[in-house]
Structure 1
Amino acid sequence: MITMHDSSRTARPTTPHPAPGALGVRVATVLRAPLTRRAWAEAAYCLLAFPLSLAGGVVLLVLLALGAGLTVSLVGAVIGVLVLVGCLRLARGLGGLNRGLASGLLGERVPAPVPPRPGSGVFGRLDARLRDVAGWRAVWYVLVKLPVGALGMYAVLFWVTGLINLTAPLRWGVFGQQEAPADGGGMPVLTPVPVGGFEVHSLAGTFVAVPLGLALLLLAPWTTRLVVETDRRLLRTLLGPNRLAARVRDLEETRALAVDDSVALLRRVERDLHDGAQVRLVAVAMGLDMIKERLGAPDGGSRDEPVDLDRVRQLVDGAHRNATEALTELRDLARGIHPPVLDDGLPDALATLAARSTVPVDLTTDVPRRPTPAIETIAYFCAAELLTNVIKHSGASQVVITVTQSAADDGASAGGVLRLSVTDDGRGGAAVGAGSGLTGLTQRVRTVDGSLRVDSPEGGPTTVVVELPPHA
C-alpha cells in the first residue's frame, strides 16, 4: 500500500507555549551549576591555562620582536630568520599543549593541523617553515590567548572569593578573631572587583559575607564558562585544521571514493556480463551449431540419416530460452546502472518503488526543481537500499519516505539541498558499519559531497536522512 501526499498543503503554524515547569528547571540549573563536574573542570582549565598562556605569550612576544628586528637588519638577517622559524615551532608546540589541556579537561578534541611541507635544500626548508600557515595561526592563538587567559584567571577569582566569604564565620571562630580590636581592624570581606570590599568586626557581621559568597559561587560557573566558550572558538578557528585545507582533503577523499565506486561498478558489470549474459549467448551459439548439424551439411549436400525434428525443436527451444534469459539479464544490468523509471523524474520513480514494496509506504515528495541525473540516480538507489533494509531487518509495519528540496537561500550549498528521509517503526538498532549496507550508502553519497545521518535507538523508530546537492 502506498499513500501519496500533496506537497502544496501546508500545516497551519502553531504558537509555541512555554512548558509549565521551564522556569523551575532554569532555577534548578542555576543552583546546581557550582556543583557540576563541568563547572569545576572549566574553572580548573582557566586556572591551569593562565600560566601556560602567560609564559608562552611573553616568550613568544620577545622572540618575535627579536626575530623581526634581526631580519630587517643586514647583519643579523639569517639569525632573525632562524629565530622566526623557532617561534613558529614553539607556537605549534604551545598549540599542542593547549589542545591537550582542552581535550583532557573540556572534552574539546581539536584535530592537529597538517605538518608543514618539507621543502628541498636548506633555503627551501626555511622558506617552507616561514610559509607555514598553521604555524602563524598558532602564533595568533598564543598572542590572543594571553588576554583571554588573564580573563580566565579573573573569572577564577569569583570562585576563590566566593569560597573565602562563605567560610567567614568558620574562620572567625577557628582563628579566634577578637571582636572590635583596638587598632580598628577587622576581617576583610573580599569581592572580585577592585572596589567594594569591606571589613566586619564581629561574629554576627561575618554572616553578612555568607550570602555574598553564595552569590559569587552561583555567578562563578557562568563567568568561567563565558571565557571557556571564547577559548573553544579560538581553539577551533586557530589551532584546528585550516578550513580550506580540510576542504581540499575532504575533496581528495571523495574523489578517491568516486574513482573506487566507478571501478567497482565496472568490475560488477564485467562480472555480470562474463558470468551471466556471456554464458547464455555462448549456449545460444552452441545450440545453433548443433541445429545446423542436425538440419544438413554446410555445403548443401544431402544427409544419409533423416532429420530428427523433435531433437531440433528441443535445440531451438533451448536456444530461444537462453537468448531470452540473456536479454533479461542485460536488461537488469542496464537497469542497475540507470533505472528507466527515472526517465520521468525522481518522484515517479520513488512512487513505482514504493508500490512494489511489501511494507506499506507513506510517500511525500516536494521536488520543484529537477536535480541532475547523477543525483537522481543516487537518491533512487539510496531509497531502494534503505527500503530493502527495512523489509529484511527491521520488522516494521509502516515506512514513511519524504523527499524535499530546500531553497537556495536556506540550503548548505548554492543551489539548495535535496533531502531524502526514510523512517520506519521497526526494532531499531541500525548503525553505519553494522552490516546493513549503510557504509556503502555513506560512501556513495560522499562522492557527490552529500551526507547520511542515522538515528536508530534500540526499540525504534529508525530515521535515515540523506542530503544531496542538486548538482553533482
Structure 2
Amino acid sequence: MVKETRREQHLKAPWRGLGLMLLGIPATFVGIWFISVVSMITGALGVLLFPSAARLMRGQADVYRKAIAAWTGVRIERPYLPEPDPEPGIAGRLKRFIAMISDPATWRDYLWIVADPIVVVFTAALPGLLVLYGLWGYFLAAFAGGMIGHYGGSEWYAWVEVDGGYDRDAGRLVSTVVVATVCVAVGFLIGPKMMAVYGRWGRAVLGPTEKSRLALRVRHLSESRSVAVDASAAELRRIERDLHDGAQARLVAMGMSLGAIEHLLDKDPEKARTLLAETRASSAKALHELRDLVRGIHPPVLADRGVGDAVKALALDHPLDVEVTVDLPGRPEAPVESAAYFAVSEILTNAAKHSGAGRVWIDLRHERGMLRVTVTDDGRGGATLDGGTGLRGIERRIGTFDGVLALNSPVGGPTIVTLELPCALSSPKTSPS
C-alpha cells in the first residue's frame, strides 16, 4: 500500500469516517437477523440457523476489519476459534452449533454491531459530520437561508437563527460563515486522530482475545509442525533415492569391477588395467554425486559464510543473469538461513523454467526483526500461488518459522516474490583463512 502524506490523510479521513458510519446500515440488518435467530435457539430451527447467522455476522465483521486496516492502518486478526471438522447428521450440526455459540468472538461481533453505530458517530464519523455541517452553513449563507425565510421557515445554525435570510442583519451572515469555517477546519484537522481512536476501538472488540489467540497459535503450530514433518520425510526419501540410484549403485559396480580385476591380474593384465581405469572414473563420478548430494542437504558455503554468500554462489551457477544485493550486519539462525536459501533456490528454478525472464534481482536485508528476501524477475508475469506447488510449498515451509510469502505478478511482469522470516542476527562469522 502506498504511504499517504499527512495532507492526504487529513483530506481523506472525514470521508472515510462517513464511509465507516454507512457500513452500519447493512450491519444493523445482519444484527437483527442474528438476534432473531438467537431468540429461536430453544427450538430446533434456531439451532439449525445459528451457524449460518453467525457466519453472516462474521462476514460483516470481516468487512469492518478490512476497512479499518485500509483506512486507519490498524490491522485486526480474525479472532474465531477453530471450527470442528464437518460431520454428517445431527451430531455434526450440534457440534458446529456448540462451537460457534461458545466462541467469545461471536458475541463480541454482536456487541460491535450494537455499539458501533453510537461509537462511530463520536469517533471516525465526527470529522465528516463537522465538515458537512460547515458546508451546510455555507449554503445557508449563500442562498438556502433566504429560501427558508422566503417560504416562512425558521432554521437555527449553531446559535444563529435563520428566519428571514441575512438581508437585514449582516452580523448573522458573518457569524454563520465563521462557524461554518471553524467546523470545516476542525473536521479536517482532527480526522486522522479520530480514525486512529476508531482503529483502537475496532482492535479491542473485533480482535482476538487471549483465549482465541492461544487457540489460533496452537493450531498454527500444529499445522506448521505437520508441514515440517512431511517436508523432512520427503527430504529423507529424496536422499535415500539419490543414494540408491546414484552413488550406491556406482559403489556396488566398483566392488564388482575390483573383484573381476583381482581374477584378471594374472590371466589378462591388459584387461585388468582397462577395468582399473573404468573403476577410477566411476569413483570420481560417485564422489561428484556425493558432493552434489551434500550440497542439496546443506551447502558448505551456507555453513561457512552465511546465506548472503550462499545466494551469491547460487547466482553464479544460474543460467539467468542474477544480481544479488546483501545488507546483513550479522547472521540469522542456521535453520532460518537454510529455509531462506532453499526458498531462493526454488524461486530461481521457477524463474528459469516458467517466467521467460532474462534478468533476476535478489535483495536480502534485515529490517525490524525480519529477514526480508525480495526476488524480482523481468519475465512475462502472471504467476499465482495456486498455479503450482512450488510457491505454495515455499509458503508452507517458511510458515514453520512464522514466515510469510507475498507475490506480486501482474500479466506482462515483473514478478516480485517477497519473503519475511522473523529472526535475530548474531555477530558475523568468518571462515578460517
TM-score tier after normalising by the smaller chain length: 0.5 to 0.7
User: What residue is the counterpart of 2:399 in the other structure?
Assistant: 446
User: What residue is the counterpart of 1:333 in the other structure?
Assistant: 293
Q: Is the 8 A contact 1:42 1:228 kept in 2?
A: yes
Q: Distance in 1 between matches of 2:107 and 2:101?
A: 9
Amino acid across the alignment from 2:300: P
Q: Is the 8 A contact 2:325 2:363 kept in 1?
A: yes
- Determine if the alignment matches structure 1 residue 188 to structure 2 residue 152: no
Cα deviations by residue, 1:204-229 (Å, 9 ceiling, x for unpaired):
44754345445434544666766655
Sequence identity, in percent? 29
Amino acid across the alignment from 2:421: E
The structure 1 residue matched to 2:241, chosen from 261, 268, 271, is 271
- What's the TM-score, normalizing by structure 1? 0.60
Q: Distance in 2 between matches of 1:28 and 1:401?
A: 32
Q: Alignment partner of 1:198: what SS? A: strand
Q: Distance in 2 between matches of 1:123 and 1:423?
A: 48
Q: Is the 8 A contact 1:354 1:363 kept in 2?
A: no
Q: Distance in 2 between matches of 1:88 and 1:384?
A: 45
Q: Distance in 1 between matches of 2:118 and 2:154?
A: 32
Q: Distance in 2 between matches of 1:435 and 1:116?
A: 28
- Determine if the alignment matches structure 1 residue 250 to structure 2 residue 220: yes
Structure ID, larger Rg: 1
Q: Alignment partner of 1:267: what SS? A: helix
Q: Is the 8 A contact 1:361 1:399 kept in 2?
A: yes
Amino acid across the alignment from 2:397: R
The structure 2 residue matched to 1:135, chosen from 106, 126, 134, is 106
The structure 2 residue matched to 1:310, chosen from 245, 270, 292, is 270
Q: Is the 8 A contact 2:148 2:155 kept in 1?
A: no
Q: Is the 8 A contact 1:363 1:400 kept in 2?
A: yes
1:26-65 to structure 2, matched below 5 A, reads 33=11, 39-40=14-15, 42-47=17-22, 49=24, 56=31
Q: Distance in 1 between matches of 2:262 and 2:400?
A: 52
User: What residue is the counterpart of 2:421 in the other structure?
Assistant: 467
User: What residue is the counterpart of 1:299 in the other structure?
Assistant: none
- In angstroms, what is the RMSD of aligned CA positions? 5.6
Q: 1:148: Cα distance to partner?
A: 0.9
Cα deviations by residue, 1:44-98 (Å, 9 ceiling, x for unpaired):
44145279559959x97x999x99xxxxxxxxxx97xx99999999777555445
Q: 1:322: Cα distance to partner?
A: 1.5
Cα deviations by residue, 1:162-188 (Å, 9 ceiling, x for unpaired):
34323223234545628xxxxxx9743
- Between Structure 1 and Structure 2, how many residues are aligned? 395
- Determine if the alignment matches structure 1 residue 167 to structure 2 residue 139: yes
User: What residue is the counterpart of 1:374 in the other structure?
Assistant: 335
Q: Alignment partner of 2:421: what SS? A: strand
1:2-17 to structure 2, matched below 5 A, reads none
Structure 2: 5+ residue stretches without partners: 426-433
Q: Is the 8 A contact 1:110 1:235 kept in 2?
A: no
**Residues 1:466 and 1:313: Cα distance change in structure 2 (over 3 Å):** farther
1:218-367 to structure 2, matched below 5 A, reads 219-220=186-187, 230-239=197-206, 242-291=212-261, 294=264, 307-344=267-304, 346=306, 350=310, 353=313, 365-367=328-330
Amino acid across the alignment from 2:157: L
